[in-house]
Amino acid sequence: MTTLSPNGRRIGYMRVSTPDQRLDRQCIGLQESCDELYLEQLSAVAGRRPVFDESLSRLNAGDTFVVWDLDRAFRSTLDAILTAESLKARKVGMHIMSLNIDTSTPEGELFYTIIAAYAQFERRILRRRTCEGIMAARVRGAQIGRPRRLSDEIVADAYRYVCETGYPAPYVAALLRVSPITLERGFRRLGLVSHACELHSRRQGTEPTSARSSAAI
């Protein structure tokens, strides 16, 4: 493979959220300016980044780690700065293409630190606005997250069915084609879970004898 940089290899990395992003202009721009390009499809807050770790392990002294921007490569300011420090200790440079920052120079290193802090600030502002929006939606009574599998009305009907028949909640959940945990969460949401459990325990202790007698007849 032909090396693009006279001082070493240029190894690029980009995190993508969807398969379609593999063909966007940022990805193509990285591919054209790198000797090797590593793409990883996962969220920004993923705990493990195996492709990211592999791309770093490929770097040797004199090489350059190339990313398009901070958000498509790092999880936080601390993550970006620690990576830059680690690469610097290994005599590896880092190039941020969208900002034309090369950390191998003193000016690039200073500017990179400032930009990384600003990116983290923007992210915190976005997170705060998102939380404020969610809180406002909850005040208005809006449903946040995935739609509920069971409405309150169905949960209440299921509870009455358990009370009237004495059937265990897992059996009723199977009738509703949901998991027992889903039905239990519905009971808990309406404050019925303890009552259903107590009722089932009492019926188990009092009814089996009559039930067996009827079956024997």
Q: Identify the pLDDT of residue 54.
A: 94
For residue 94, give the nearest of 66, 117, 68 by alpha carbon.
66
For residue 122, give the nearest of 67, 70, 48 by alpha carbon.
70
Specify the fold of 10-124.
Rossmann fold (3.40.50)
Q: What percent of the chain is modeled with pLDDT above 90?
A: 15
pLDDT in tens, 150-194: 888 888 888 888 888 778 888 888 888 888 888 888 888 888 864
Q: Identify the pLDDT of residue 168.
A: 84
Q: Identify the pLDDT of residue 193.
A: 61
Active site (annotated) includes residue 210: no
Run of H or E including 67? strand 64-67
pLDDT in tens, 67-93: 988 888 887 776 787 788 788 889 999
Q: Identify the pLDDT of residue 152.
A: 84
What is the overall mean pLDDT for the chain?
77
For residue 60, give the nearest of 105, 94, 9, 12 by alpha carbon.
9
Q: Identify the pLDDT of residue 210.
A: 35
3-state helix, strand, coil in the chain (%, to 5): 55, 10, 30
89 strand-pairing partners: none
Active-site residue identified among 17, 151, 194, 201: 17
Structure tokens at 203: 């019926």
pLDDT tops 60 at residue 59: yes
- Contacts (Cβ under 8 Å, ≥6 apart) of 33: 4, 10, 12, 66, 97
CA angle 51, 71, 124 (to 5 degrees): 130
pTM recorded for the entire structure: 0.50
Picking from 54-63, 93-102, 186-195, which range would have the lowest pLDDT averaged per residue? 186-195
Domain ranges of the chain: 10-124, 152-205
